[in-house]
Copies of this chain bind each other. A is one copy, B any other.
């Protein structure tokens, strides 16, 4: 939940005067997204989202993110579309933050992912990858393999508070993953954070993908591995192979995986599990007890990581 920066009505009005989107009618903070401040903005011209970029986002990356969203929307991917001001600029300053207005997407994100969500999700991910192929600028993935060791080192001293031996265990996993990490798989623009709260559904169809602020240029199959982690485990920790099959089949109906991508899926899925384990571990160790925003349990991803270590080939996920 996130409104870190308050916007005065005078500042909002001055900001909107740079746009051709009418007069403000309603303005409410949205309790979703953890990185930035988001407001639902209704004007006489329609509904929009106003985002103020907070400190975790590097301002130098913003043109790349907004450019990607604009490009994907032009290719038919339903994602928030940056709204330019009269000067053509989509990115400006509000309340001492970089800020942008994007289009509002209808839909509800699934609080409890089900099999019926996974096929459409796979298709949407495949289309995103296809559409991204014609977006030329590259953005290295700061939370990809090269980012994992520095991330682990920030938590290593206290990792054993979460589970005995966790620090040594993760160090060994990391060494092995970095040695075995596939380097020659197809690359492209990936979302890199396509969890259920970033996927809106309406009438059992996908109505929008949101929150592209972790997107980067990386292995396409790694994005699918992130979704396997985020969508295909039961609440009790068991992998649901029916969901996995639906997700992978949906993806392949748009973009068939190469044999090498299929073979690499267990290691890609371990990498994805480690990546979310590491950021959750850091947040877990650095959020005070009793805070209203409860950090997510890193142990959930430790269990997922263990599952992937015993998986072989694509069949482990698609049955």
- Stretch of A104-112, A137-145, A243-251, A269-277 on the interface side: A104-112
CA of A261 to CA of B12, assembled, Å: 39
User: CB within 8 A of A31: which of B9, B29, B107?
Assistant: B29
Q: Interface residues of A, CB < 8 Å — how many?
A: 37
Q: What is the chain B residue whose CB lies nearest that of A26?
A: B106
Copies in the complex: 2
- Stretch of A186-194, A218-226, A287-295, A307-315 on the interface side: A287-295
Given contacts A108-B26, A288-B289, contact A31 B2 (CB under 8 A): yes
Q: Interface on chain A toward B: helix, strand, loop, or mixed SS? A: loop
Cβ of A202 within 8 Å of any chain B Cβ, yes or no, is: yes
Q: What is the chain B residue whose CB lies nearest that of A112?
A: B8
Q: What is the chain B residue whose CB lies nearest that of A38?
A: B31
CA of A292 to CA of B290, assembled, Å: 10
Chain B min CB distance to A37 (Å): 8
CA of A110 to CA of B7, assembled, Å: 9
Cβ of A40 within 8 Å of any chain B Cβ, yes or no, is: yes
Cβ of A28 within 8 Å of any chain B Cβ, yes or no, is: yes
Cβ of A178 within 8 Å of any chain B Cβ, yes or no, is: no
CA of A3 to CA of B112, assembled, Å: 17
Sorted nearest first, the 4 A-B pairs with minimum C-beta distance are A29-B31, A31-B31, A8-B111, A288-B290
| Chain A contacts to B: CB under 8 angstroms | 1-3, 6-10, 12, 24-32, 40, 42, 104-108, 110-112, 201-202, 287-293
